Homo-oligomer: A and B are copies of this chain.
Amino acid sequence: MPRRTAPDSGQQPRLATIRDVAHHAGVSVATVSRILSGTYPSAPATRAKVMRAVRELDYVANAHARGLAGVRPKSVAIVVNSVVSPHYAHVAQGVHEEAAREGRLCIVGTTGGDPDRELAAIKLMRQEQAEAVILVGNIVADDAYRERMASYARALAQAGSQLVLCGRPPLGADVPAVVVEYDNTAGAHAITGHLLSAGHRRILFLGRRTGYTTPDSRIAGYRAALAEHRVPHDPDLEVDGTMERSEGHRMMRERLDRGPRDFTAVFAGNDLIAAGARDALRERGLRVPDDVSMAGFDDLPPAADIDLTTVHVPHEELGRTAVRLALRNDRPGAAQHVLLGTHIVVRDSVRRRPGV
């Protein structure tokens, strides 16, 4: 027996369907579908009738029915740690822009940095049949995790969705994923060089976090620049901490508490750390750049506010590129790797070392 048995509770909200439109216009559903999709020829008179019915009934096609009927749902999924963090927000902005331009809608999942929640989010996106699943942000480069991620990439490819890793290293050539990165190492190398050229020799690095890809590659650039300038590398100048403002504050405070200041410049793992460190310096009566030079990484909002020389990362372009590659790439399954460049933004936070 048909399910729509009960006309008792007429309260059930029911949207106009394509059948209603067809009936209203006195044509068949196929005609309505064709006219609305606009891909087939139709007589102007029929067209007018149908459009009028659509308007009068306020008809919008049910996205689920359409998706089910084989039209690939026009959606892009993005999975980030958090939507408030400027880093993710700017990449997401790029994703939204490009997705909107391409007429796709965006499904957003947040993970809070938890790998399990990340995998759960991917599964959800797979159910949704998103055209592309874009993963943003750094994560532990743990082997088991990489393996799981690779298998998800394959599952997604099989389902016809493209996995995109945005701002994290590739999983391997055999894994069907597009990778859009920016060059952390080169950026860190360049800005460390900037500090070295200003005569600084003892440069404190704030925000080491071994095992995490982003800080790892930034510190690699830092070390490479030191080596190139024949400045001895002192591991004691590398301070462990995460990439938060409060951590920057803590690291600098503890450093200053420890004994006399033994550095003339600071390279913060990102702008947030720089902002926190600057606060800690000020609490001790030290000013940037008069007493201490400072550089950051990211060029996100706090940087301009505190006049910080930093490495500009093309966050939004990262997001746009991710979408573009995912959608252009008609054959999900191909691995691809794009590396975007960075550049230094000079502001008033670095002084030439006195007496050099």
Contact of A127 among B63, B68, B110, B126 (CB under 8 A): B63
B105 and A124 form a contact (CB under 8 A): yes
Q: Are A105 and B128 in contact (CB under 8 A)?
A: yes
Query: B-contacting residues of A (Cβ < 8 Å)?
Result: 13, 15, 58, 60-65, 67-68, 73, 82-84, 86, 89-90, 92-93, 96-97, 100, 105-110, 117, 123-124, 126-129, 155, 157-160, 275, 301-302, 305-306, 332
Partner of A129, one of B62, B83, B129, B301: B62
Say how many copies of this protein the assembly contains: 2
In the assembly, what is the distance between CA of A92 and CA of B128, in Å? 21
CB closest residue in chain B, given A126: B60
Instruction: Find out whether the CB atom of B83 lies under 8 angstroms from the CB atom of A93.
Output: yes
Which one of B15, B128, B155, B305 lies within 8 Å of A158 (CB-CB)?
B15
* CB <8 Å contact, A92 and B100: no
Choose among A13, A84, A107 the residue with the greatest number of B CB atoms under 10 Å from its CB: A84
Give the distance in Å from the alpha carbon of A89 to the alpha carbon of B86 in the complex.
Answer: 9
Q: Which residues of B contact A305 (CB under 8 A)?
A: 275, 302, 305-306
Please measure, in the bound complex, the distance between the C-alpha atom of A140 and the C-alpha atom of B68, giving whole angstroms.
39
Minimum CB–CB distance from A284 to chain B (whole Å) comes to 16
| Residues A107 and B110 in contact, CB atoms below 8 Å apart | no
Complexed CA–CA distance, A92 and B96 (Å): 14
The smallest C-beta distance from A120 to any residue of chain B, in angstroms, reads 9
Q: CB-CB < 8 A to A61: which residues of B?
A: 127
- Chain B residues, Cβ within 8 Å of A64: 63-65, 67-68, 73, 129
- CA distance in complex: A341, B298 (Å): 35
Q: Which residues of B contact A126 (CB under 8 A)?
A: 60
Give the Cβ gap from A311 to chain B, nearest Cβ, in Å. 19
Decide: A89 and B96 in contact? CB cutoff 8 A. Answer: no
In the complex, 6 of the A-B residue pairs with CB atoms within 8 angstroms, ordered by the A residue number, are A13-B159, A62-B129, A100-B110, A106-B107, A106-B109, A275-B305
Give the distance in Å from the alpha carbon of A275 to the alpha carbon of B117 in the complex. Answer: 36
* Assembled-state Cα–Cα distance A246/B96 (Å): 24
Residue in B84, B93, B124, B160 whose CB lies within 8 Å of A13: B160
Besides the known contacts A64-B65, A83-B92, A84-B89, 9 further A-B residue pairs in the complex with CB atoms under 8 A apart: A64-B64, A64-B73, A100-B110, A106-B107, A106-B108, A107-B108, A275-B305, A301-B302, A305-B305
Say yes or no: A15 contacts B84, CB within 8 Å. no
**Minimal beta-carbon separation of A327 from chain B (angstroms):** 16
CA distance A126 to B105 in the complex (A): 12
